[in-house]
Chain A
Amino acid sequence: MKRVVVLGYYLCLLYGGALAQLQAEELDNPLGSVAILHEGRLKPLDTFARVQLLGLQEKRKLPDQAAIDWLGMLLTRPEEVHKRPVFKLRNQALLNALDVAPRQDHNYRYLDLSPALHAQRGLIQSLHERPRDSLSLVERQLLDLDQRVFAYEILARSLTCFFPRIQVDSPGLATRMEVVPGTRVSYYHFIRKRETLRELIFAIQHKDPNAYSTEETEMVGLLDQLKPVLADRRATLLTIIPPAGEPQTNPWLSPWELLIQQVPTPAQVEGLALLNEWVQVERHGNHVAAQGHLGAYQQWVTAQCGPAVSWKRIALEAWDNRAGLFHKSVAFYILGLLLLALFWFFGKHRWRKVAFGALLIGIGCHLGGLLTRILIMQRPPVSSLYESILFVSFIGVLGCTILEGIRKNGIGLFCATVIGITLQMVGFRYAVDGDTKGMLVAVLNSNFWLGTHVITITTGYGCTLIAGLVGHVYLAKRLLHPQDETGLKTLSKNMGGLALIALFFTLFGTILGGIWADQSWGRFWGWDPKENGALLIVLWLMLLLHGRVAKQIQPLGFACGLVLANICVALAWFGVNLLSVGLHSYGFTENIATNLLTFCSFEVCFSGAGYIAVRLRERSIRSPGL
């Protein structure tokens, strides 16, 4: 028997290894570890690449290419990337409006979309002037597509200052600008003679065009060449150059911004030179040598920033992106559930033990994911709706694992896997909103309160969900195995205990929330939707427990009540954001209303149908045939 358990563990590890292989990403691209200051936070370019691709593709990677490789190509060889289908479009009506031929995989190329959008420029302009609420779905999607293509263009032009696009033919002019006549040079190269250029422009500005010399006429031609080159000067998204001042509090610079809007410091000149070398070598297709140049640039950045920047954290984030710990945890939860089914089918405890092993590995991945988030963001992992989902699911799985460890009957295992799988799936839907590691607005920016109030209340949500799930189990058991009275009685006691724990955390979490509000806004309780939602859970749990103690509610009713408690949690957690009222509306979602309604209806039906079925069955047992 022991051999089977050992075999089981090996199977789990094999499964995990297979998963890891399937998800194996490209070899570590050093471009991924380059730092960029984006949305107020210093992050690896790998994260930035994934978020940008997410906006275009709805996924964080292309079918045949990692996000960072795509970004690298877009920055250094945009002409090639324009030919690749990157934009995801599903709406047929939108494609018709643009007169673009539909494709099977819904992916479209920049080369197809850009001219189509240009043709509709007038329409798009007029749509911008109207309020968004008054637009139809296609019109809104048209504006969104225009935005996405614009963002793509901005990104693609970030490094064009290093592309050779300016040609000076006249020898005299070439000597003054210190370029070789007849060859193409980049704007970066050209602008080193900034002062000379300014003098030349000044000279011809105040002269009669008819009296221009050949050199001055060529100057005019040169200015014409510069116009399209300078059109790219607003491509300032790639802020990868550290500022002259403190790197954590000052905005970083993009190459175009540095060349146009500021005068680079001697150190920054050095950095620009290193970047230029990297771009040139990449454009020539020599990837291996290019990595060497990129490494040199990285070293320069590290030297510039000094100890103010934690490179370990940036590298950790790049690793975390590739590791996909939360996806792995779900895989193990699913494995655990399948193995549990085998336990129920065959009745042999060895399957339960193997399932428990899978659950432990899963929760390990889950915890690992949370810990890396804490290390990267330096704050408790509950600062946004998405993070609260990760944390609540962890608490739920942890609580049920402990329950399983004590009771050893598979119920805790079932609850753990169900909570883990459903909540993580919900979390994945929220992860498509962009970079999930955002900065906090001023009022939330307090690690103390995040660590006390939010942790407590989300733990309360988790515990209520566990109690609710055990309520489901009780109802199912009462219907399917009513003869196991001892088991039912124990389960009923468990429900009471779990409800009590849930009440403790939700009550304490709600009060801590009030205290935080008192410290921040001057009032303990404002009947805000979020506060009301939390109070709803507390009151319902309190009601159930009081009813149970006073013998007004029997175990069956108590179980039904706990199932309904799940509705209170769902409403308090997600429902209040639909109202968008009050000081608490931080999480932004669409289409949540339908899912919420479905979930609540399901719980009501389960609870009601379960209760009625049990009562009918027991009545027919008590008075058969009457």
Chain B
Amino acid sequence: MGDSYQPKYPWYAHPAIMIYATLWLMVLLVVGTLAQKGMGLYLAQQVYFSSWFFWAGPLPLPGGRLVLAVIGTSLVLKLVRERSWGLQMLGVNIVHLGAVLLLMGGFLTAYFSEEGSLWVSEGETSATVRDYHDLELALIDTSATSHDDVVAYAAGWLYPGEVITPEGTALRITVKAFARNCRLVQRKAAPESSLRGMAERFELVALGLDPQGERNRAGVLLDISGVSENTGSYLLVEHMPVEQTLSVGERSFKLVLRKEQRRLPFAIELLDFERVVYPGTDTPKSFRSVVHVVEENGLKRRAVIQMNEPLRHRGYTLYQSSFTPGQVETSVLAVVQNFGRVFPYLSSLVMCAGLLLHLLVFLPMLIQRQRKPAGSKRVEEAAA
């Protein structure tokens, strides 16, 4: 037995789209999760979930974004063209609407949100947010005594052959070599005359990417030309112990390879960082930072940031992320600016309401004992 009736579907709402897209998403989930062991969380996210395509050998396969876009589009089209809004379908339609909201939120977050970390020590103030992954090459003009002028070039410039010509200078900075993860090795051969600073004694050795993203230390070899003095090769690595400087005439510059930095429209002054442990143990019970939020006009407001209780201010959300211990403790706050923040909350309310409605309508029928219609038994016996 069983129903042989197959309803007709418009092409965009055919169940096959949803079934195959969901199946493929499940495959991605399994493969992407297993891959995290080997390549680390961040890289696995980038390759399998945040991409439109990824390569399995010579074969291009759909990535997470493509699958979610397909599901999202199909859902939207189905909702727009939906005819039946009666009680039977209302719950389901509401759930689908909630799902669309969730996917929209995901889209906004993926393309418009920014994350970073803010490091501030007790008694100090900071408004600098460091990106977690993206690099920049910063050229800092330290000539003036009252301030520094910074021009920063995003990671897109860091490819061999790229030429950077900063405005207002005659400098020509050519990228000769770049490695996302590297090691410095002492030069064995005698240094050539064109090598400057660190490059005189060390050279860059590229390494494979570490699964733990934070451990990767980027390095770049630059060739400076276009000016009359101090031209040659300069070597920069992240977290360099000795700053690489360059003098051209009366101006002096610093060259730094670092994670992208952004400035907040307000500053955070750390008054006190407190780490409470369970008595007699080392297990942390709570972390909290007591801060002043300092506005541009100098106004200070006291705030407390602790685990599960972030600070929300002017579109930014600051979370207690980590700390570095010591005499003077440094609090590390995670700073997130996410326009799609409200969507998951909205979507969860909508989806919950829709499912509850659907359950209330259908559950009594599904769980109850089935009542046989009169006379049907004889019909069944005759048919058998």
Contact = CB atoms under 8 A, between A and B. Distances in A.
Interface residues of A, number: 70
B183 to A, nearest CB: 22
Interface in A484-526: 485-486, 489-490, 493-494, 496-497, 500-501, 503-504, 507-508, 511-512, 514-515, 518-526
Interface of B: 1-3, 5-7, 15, 18-19, 22-23, 25-26, 29-30, 32-34, 36-37, 40-41, 44-45, 48-49, 64, 102, 105-106, 109, 115, 277-281, 283-287, 307-310, 317, 319, 321, 334-336, 338, 341, 344-345, 347-348, 351-352, 355-356, 358-359, 362-363, 365-370, 372, 380
Given A37-B280, A490-B370, A511-B348, A446 B308 contact: yes
B369 A490 contact: yes
Contacts of B380: 485
Contacts of B40: 581
A532 B351 CA distance: 19
Interface in A538-579: 539-540, 542-543, 546-547, 550-552, 554-555, 576, 579
A39 B348 CA distance: 38
Contact of B366 (A439, A496, A525, A582): A496
Contacts, number: 180
Interface stretch (A249-257, A266-274, A382-390): A249-257
Contact of B355 (A407, A503, A520, A521): A503
A245 to B, nearest CB: 10
Contacts of A525: 106
A373 to B, nearest CB: 19
Given A521-B319, A543-B19, A406 B368 contact: yes
A40, A407, A579: most-surrounded residue (chain B CB, <10 A): A40
Contacts of A551: 3, 5-7
Contact of A445 (B285, B310, B356): B285
Contacts of B23: 543
B307 A536 contact: no
A250 B325 CA distance: 21
Contacts of A532: 29-30, 32-33
Nearest to A489: B370
B206 to A, nearest CB: 25
A449 B366 CA distance: 32
B26 A518 contact: no
A526 B284 contact: no
A536 B28 CA distance: 10
Contact of B372 (A39, A239, A439, A486): A486
Contacts of B365: 493
Contacts of B286: 442, 445
A546 B366 CA distance: 16
Given A512-B348, A524-B109, 20 more contacts: A40-B277, A40-B278, A239-B280, A406-B368, A441-B283, A446-B308, A486-B372, A500-B366, A504-B355, A511-B344, A511-B347, A522-B115, A525-B106, A527-B33, A529-B36, A532-B29, A547-B19, A551-B7, A555-B2, A581-B40
Contacts of A554: 2
Nearest to B376: A486
Given A504-B356, A519-B308, A536 B370 contact: no
A139 to B, nearest CB: 26
A529 B33 contact: yes
B33 A546 contact: no
Consensus secondary structure, chain A interface: helix
Contacts of A526: 41, 45
B308 A524 contact: no
A439 B285 CA distance: 8
A529 B34 CA distance: 8
A406 to B, nearest CB: 6
A346 B330 CA distance: 73
Contacts of B18: 546
Given A520-B308, A536-B29, A407 B369 contact: yes
A485 B37 CA distance: 48
Nearest to B92: A549
B310 A522 contact: yes
A41 B368 CA distance: 48
A38 interface: yes
A500 B366 CA distance: 10
A535 interface: yes
A16 B45 CA distance: 53
Given A527-B44, A527-B45, A555-B2, A543 B347 contact: no
B351 A507 contact: yes
B22 A552 contact: no
A443 interface: yes
23 contacts: A40-B285, A249-B279, A406-B367, A445-B308, A485-B1, A493-B366, A493-B370, A500-B358, A508-B351, A511-B344, A515-B345, A520-B310, A522-B319, A522-B335, A527-B41, A532-B33, A536-B30, A543-B19, A546-B19, A547-B19, A551-B6, A581-B37, A582-B36
A398 to B, nearest CB: 15
B30 A521 contact: no
A44 interface: no
A241 B2 CA distance: 73
A396 interface: no
Given A439-B285, A518-B341, A252 B29 contact: no
A248 B280 CA distance: 11
Contacts of B3: 551
A72 interface: no
A528 interface: yes
Interface in A400-455: 403, 406-407, 439, 441-443, 445-446, 449
B279 A37 contact: yes
A511 B353 CA distance: 13
Contacts of B102: 511
A533 interface: yes
Given A543-B19, A555-B2, A522 B280 contact: no
Most buried by A among B34, B279, B344, B365: B279
A503 to B, nearest CB: 7
Nearest to A533: B33
A41 B341 CA distance: 37
A266 B338 CA distance: 58
A543 B283 CA distance: 42
A344 to B, nearest CB: 20
A543 B24 CA distance: 12
A239 B279 CA distance: 11
Contacts of A524: 105, 109, 341, 344
A205 B195 CA distance: 65
A523 B352 CA distance: 21
Interface string A356-369: 00000000000000
